[in-house]
Amino acid sequence: MSKKMVDKEEAFDLFQYWLMDSPDAIERMMDRLPAEVKNQLDYSVESLDVLEAYLLNQYASIDEIKQEPPDILNGYAIYVGETFRKVAKSLTKREPNIWTIELDDTDDVFYNLPVIEIGAYINFPMGLVTASLDRRRGNYLSTILKNFLEDS
């Protein structure tokens, strides 16, 4: 077997582990949140604004959030991705509606990154979280989701 194939298989196995751990990653992230924030995180469009407000209050920059244990940033990203998926599933019925990873096309901007794929829409939730800190709007995440829903 070629080295590239072994690396690809290992990356796919790590992605599968990441998928299996994602509910626990959200739980670990939730355990760190104040009750008034955690109690509003219900996978709705509005909950994205709640999470984003919390993130903006906690972190002045992308560099600050990167100082957190990887599990915490991962938990935020998974929550955002799952919210996109759940809202889209209830409103658009687009298939596929999955987490996926690109391991074949090394020129793909999302190569070796966990992304959500909803119909033809593909996005990287961790990038959305960090972009929300850069934009500092307070409704960046929900606006991205609403724009997707309007275009559906």
Write down the pTM of the prediction.
Answer: 0.94
What lies within 8 Å, CB to CB, of 152 at 6+ separation is 88, 91, 92, 94, 119
Beta sheet of 121-123, edge-to-edge order: 97-101, 114-118, 121-123
- Contact between 112 and 11 under an 8 Å Cβ cutoff? The reply is yes
Residue 1 reports pLDDT greater than 60: no
- % helix, strand, coil for the chain, step of 5: 65, 10, 25
Residue 9 reports pLDDT greater than 60: yes
Structure confidence by residue, pLDDT tens digits, 69-104: 998 999 999 999 999 999 999 998 889 999 999 999
In whole angstroms, give the CA distance from residue 84 to residue 48: 9
> Which residue ranges make up each domain of the chain?
3-151
Q: How confident is the model at residue 152 (pLDDT cuts 50, 70, 90)?
A: confident
In whole angstroms, give the CA distance from residue 84 to residue 69: 24
Token pair recorded at residue 37? 């924030």
- Contact between 45 and 80 under an 8 Å Cβ cutoff? The reply is no
